[in-house]
Structures are given as C-alpha cells and as structure tokens.
Amino acid sequence: MRIGVPREAAADQRLVAATPKTVEQLIKLGYTVAVENDAGARASITDQAYLDAGAELVESSQVWQSDIVITVDAPDLAAVASMNKGATLISRLYPDDAPDFVVAAKEQGITALNLMSVPRISRAQALDVLSSMSNVSGYRGIIEAAEAYAGMFAGQVTAAGSTPPARVFVIGAGVAGLAALGAAGSLGADVRAYDVRSDVAEQIESMGATFVRVDAAAQESADGYASELTDEQEAATMRVYAAESAAADVVVSTALIRGKAPITITAEMVANMKPGSVIVDLAASSGGNCELTEPGKKIVTDNGVTIIGYTDLPGRMPKHTSQLYGTNIVNLLKLMTPEKDGELAVDLEDVIVRGITVTHESSVLWPPPPVQVSAAPAVAPASNPGTQATPEPAVSSPSQNKGRGRLVSAAIAALLLVAAITFSAPAFAMHFTVFVLAVIIGFYVINGVSHALHTPLMAQTNAISGIILVGALLQLGSTDWLVTALAFAAATVASINIFGGFLVTGRMLEMFRKDA
C-alpha cells in the first residue's frame, strides 16, 4: 500500500506529517511513500532529503490518490472527495466540531482515524499525539517567557553584586506542565507548581520543583483526566493562584478539564502581579486560562504584565515537532501492520484502534465507547436515606487475623533472638549489633531515595553485591561447613542480583536508544 504525505493547506501550518527518518521507518514496514513537492519546506526539510530516504515526489493531485493519507490537520471537504473509495486518512480530527467532514468521509467510504482521541492507556503512550504536542508546547512556552521577561531566569553572583533567580509558577502538572517546569528549572529558575490532582506531587518534586499543597484537591477520574472541582475546592485553588501569581515573575497555566480551559487567572490577579512579569497561557487554543488572554496574540496590560496566548507553539519548533508527530504515526502503523507487509489491518477489537476510528466502511463509529484507564476504586453507591442499615455482627476479617499472627510470630522471634544473644559468645553479639544497625541505616537510606533516582541506585546496589560476592568467594575455602554453606548462598544471591541488575538496566537503556 502507498502512503501519501501532502503539503499542509494552511499557510501558517509549518509542520509536516512525515520526516525523512519516519519515511525510512514506514518503508521498513512494507509501505511505499509518496511526498508532495515542498511538503517539508516550512519545517526546513528539503525534497532531496525525502528522496534520499526512499520516498517519491509527486504532485498534489497524486498524493491524495494514495491508499493511506497522513496529514497534520484535517483536510477540507474537497480533499476528502478526491480520495479513493475505501482509503484511510490519519490526522488530527475534530469530529464533534465538524459534522460535515464526518458525513463526507462516510459517503466516500474512508476509514478516518483521529489521532486526537488516542486512549490514555500505557500501551498507547508511544502514539499519543496530544502528549507529543503538549511536551513541545510546555518547552516552547518557557522559551517565549524567557524572551519576554525583563530579567534572567538563573540567579547570578558577580563582583558587581548578585541577582535572585526568577520565580516561576506552573499551573497544571500534565505533560505540558511538567515540560514547562523542567525547562524553567534547567534555566535556573525557582520553580513552584500546583495541580488539582494531589497524586502528582511526587512527579513535580522529582523534577526539582516545589509542589504547592492545598487541603482541598480533586482526584483523577476514571478516564485519566482531572475531575470537576467542587465549590470548596475551586475557592481553595483560586486563593493559591492569587497568592502565587502575585509573587511570581512568570506564570505558566496549562489547566484543561475534559478539553475545556477553566479560568485560573482572573483580571484582578493580573492587576496584582508585578510589572514586567509574564503569563504564558498554554490553554489559549481552548479559550485560555487567563481572563485577559487573547488567543493567538501577545499583549501587555496597563500594569506592565505580558500575556502570551500563542496557539501555535508546537509549530514554532517545526523540525523536531514534525519528527515527534511522524513518530507517533509510525508507532500507530506498527500496531496496525503486524505482519510488516505494507498492508493495513483495521482491528476494531483493539481498544486503541477502536478509540481513534471515526468512520469505517461507510459507517460512523464516533463517538468511541468509553475506556477505563484508571485503577482508582469505584465509588460506593450511596445508601438509601429511607432505609436503616442493619448492623452486622463483629467478625474478625482475614487481614486482622493475619495481623495478629504476624504479631505473635514477631514476639516469638524476638524472644529467640534475645536468648541467642544471651547465651552466645561476646563476639557474636558485637557482630550482630553491627548487622542490625546496618539493616536499619540501609532501610532508611534506600527508602528516602526519590523514585527518579532508582535507576542510578541500581548501579550502586550492583557495586555492593560485587563486594558481597568477593567476600563470599574468599570464604568458600573455609574448613567450617557452615561458613562454606553461607558463603555459597551469599555468592549465589549476589550473582543473581548483579546479573539481574545489569539485565534490567540494559533493557531500560534500550528504551532511550535511537534507532540505527
């Protein structure tokens, strides 16, 4: 089958749906690739680069005659009508806002796959376009803020004096928010962040930022998004936004609830901000989180606050954004081309494929069925106020019985340990005391390490296991059978830990290794 890559119709769209690197990957899947002339010109990708990657260059009318057409933005109705019957379109579609497009795709018998509705499950992360675009938006938002801010992000200590670091406050710790706080932190700013989901605090703190805590916080809903706030929660968060924005030099807002942008920064909050401070509204394309945001524009308020409401932040970095977008499509086609024979298989039993399919075989399959992506327990149904619950007899649960059993076992073990120390040689008591102290210290040291550092920590444990292995090998020649047995057991366990650690580390590094 042939994949067509047209030049984007919108004059301000600088992205392209495939790059030379992703073209090579598509060809490895068995497809042929046809690229429209100058399709990548706005992303600084030459036609020759596509030819070198194995693609063929065609005219606009020919590219739409391909078996599969991949685009960044949804094509117009004329382009849909020019596609072959039964062809496949892969793009960022908005079916709810474009019913005419859905009708046209259905009548043409097109299989329309919407990259904006990828289910939020672990298996689909590699083809999640929203995450890719949000990541770029968060990074680029900080770049725009650094350009508009009148000072430096990093604190400076010079012979002429010192300057404090810029204070950056990030609202929302989704993909865009984490990318923004990471970029701001790398520039040396003092970063603080808040999210209505309290369970993301660890992610924020693992990146070196300070999580602003609030008593009232919302929870993640079953579909992976933040749930609606109650009046009490909303009042608490607005107090946080007011206090933090007044003290911040840069505010980055990324809040979205089910695709809608709630107001997080009111006009009154903007009036209380310092002159020269900057607001980057990453939700501007959905209306904006700031009450004064003008989508697509950068404005300066009467009190000197710059509000950036650009809606094309990913397009301002077209080279790498196109690569990320193209890779998302490659990963989707890997899923839908299991035999790597260049034949697309539309398996509607697959939750990912079903979730992104808008039309197929002249049928409308939108909206898709809901997907349960959260492991949060279901809320227990409320009891009927008209009935009175009958009290159940107190019965010990299995967990309670198990807890008592553990307590008894621990007490017996403690008594045996005291007896062993009492009637053993003094040297044993000294060595055992050192052992117990080492266990306690090791437990608290390892337990206090952030999850973000567990991979380098594995290298340290490998080194410790290596020391244990050397010590065990030295004792294997002992004439005491007990010492020899313990040394053999220690050598075996340490070897398993060392080789297992290297195996796990190797597999983790493979995740970050670029394709050859």
Indicate which residues carry an active-site annotation: 120, 125, 128, 131, 225
19, burial (CB in 10 Å: exposed 0-12, middle 13-18, buried 19+): buried
Q: Are 207 and 185 in contact (CB under 8 A)?
A: yes
Q: Please give the C-alpha separations between residue 265 and each of 16, 132, 280, in angstroms, as whole numbers.
A: 34, 26, 11
DSSP E strands, 181-229: 190-194, 210-211
Q: Are 192 and 243 in contact (CB under 8 A)?
A: no
- Gyration radius from the chain CA atoms: 30
Phi, psi of 196 (to 5 degrees): -65, -15
Dist CA 58 CA 64 (whole Å): 10
Residues sharing a CB contact under 8 Å with residue 57, sequence separation 6 or more, in sequence order: 34, 35, 36, 37, 47, 50, 51
Phi, psi of 88 (to 5 degrees): -120, 135
Dist CA 345 CA 337 (whole Å): 6
DSSP assignment string, 441-466? HHHHHHHTS-GGGHHHHHHHHHHHHH
Q: Are 129 and 328 in contact (CB under 8 A)?
A: yes
Residues sharing a CB contact under 8 Å with residue 206, sequence separation 6 or more, in sequence order: 450, 451, 452
Q: Are 244 and 272 in contact (CB under 8 A)?
A: no
Handedness of CA 448, 450, 453, 454 (dihedral sign): positive
Q: Which two tokens stand for residue 364?
A: 């409308």
Q: Which two tokens stand for residue 478?
A: 């002992």
